[in-house]
Amino acid sequence: MDTYKETSETWNKLAKLYEEKFMDLDLYNLSYDNFCKALSKEKARVVDMGCGPGNASKYLLYRRPDLFILGIDNSPNMLALAKENNPKVSFELLDIRQIEKLKTSFDGILCGFCLPYLTPTDAMKFISDAYQLLNKNGVLYISFVEGEPSKSGFQVSKSGDRIYFNYYLLSDLITQLEGNKFGQIELSKVSYPKSENETEIHTILIARKLT
């Protein structure tokens, strides 16, 4: 079963709804601030992985107008919205599983909530690829939902649209980061309101390339 294909098609279909829900959401702003502070270099080069409608890119530029940002996503509809929302940002249609195709290096990689849509194997590859893409002392930002990987599976909306959602153990991701020579790992968590009666804890890790 190609879970990626169905999940990608769902996000492409729901791009406008996603923009309406998340474009002005300030839930992650503090973690974005911490990411910006970690980018000590002026005019740092940042890649916004799975940029969606450009909500994170827009906030990063608000906090750090000096940044050069490249946004990538595998959804044409998301990229079209991102370009409208961020005329000063460069965007490219690219699957996060193929970031080794990027021909330049970066000082920061922001991967906001992409890991839930990557299998554990592809998440391991992503962390390894991210290390290769980063310059010396580069910074990596990842966010995800903690949970038993065995509970991963399709989540279905009221409209019947489905996405495949992967859970991760915090200890596993820290081990993978450290195994790929990332350190100075900062941990934070935010409470995301899934509905009026349900919240979900999102875990954020910011790590630095050590060598």
pLDDT digits (tens, 9 = 90+) for 73-100: 999 999 999 999 999 999 999 999 999 9
Residue recorded with tokens 């000063």: 88
Give the pLDDT score at 86. Answer: 98
Give the pLDDT score at 156. Answer: 94
Give the pLDDT score at 40. Answer: 86
Give the pLDDT score at 196. Answer: 84
Mean pLDDT, rounded, of the chain: 96
Give the pLDDT score at 2. Answer: 83
Residue recorded with tokens 């911490």: 34
SS (H, E, C) the chain: CCHHHHHHHHHHHCHHHHHHHHCCCCCCHHHHHHHHHHCCCCCCEEEEECCCCCHHHHHHHHHCCCCEEEEEECCHHHHHHHHHHCCCCEEEECCHHHHHHCCCCEEEEEECCCHHHCCHHHHHHHHHHHHHHEEEEEEEEEEECECCHHHCEEEECCCCCEEEECCECHHHHHHHHHHCCEEEEEEEEEEEECCCCCEEEEEEEEEEECC
Structural domain of 7: 3-209
pTM beyond 0.95: yes
Number of domains in the chain: 1
Could you give phi then psi for residue 203, rounded to 5 degrees?
A: -100, 135
pLDDT digits (tens, 9 = 90+) for 107-136: 999 999 999 999 999 999 999 999 999 999
Which pair of tokens denotes residue 149? 């990987």
112 neighbors 53 (Cβ within 8 angstroms): no
Give the pLDDT score at 195. Answer: 84
pLDDT digits (tens, 9 = 90+) for 38-65: 998 999 999 999 999 999 999 999 999 9
Give the pLDDT score at 153. Answer: 97
Whether residue 1 is predicted with pLDDT greater than 70 in this model: the reply is: no
Give the pLDDT score at 199. Answer: 95
Give the pLDDT score at 58. Answer: 98
CATH number at residue 103: 3.40.50.150
In the chain, the percentage of residues whose pLDDT exceeds 90 is 94
Whether residue 207 is predicted with pLDDT greater than 60 in this model: the reply is: yes
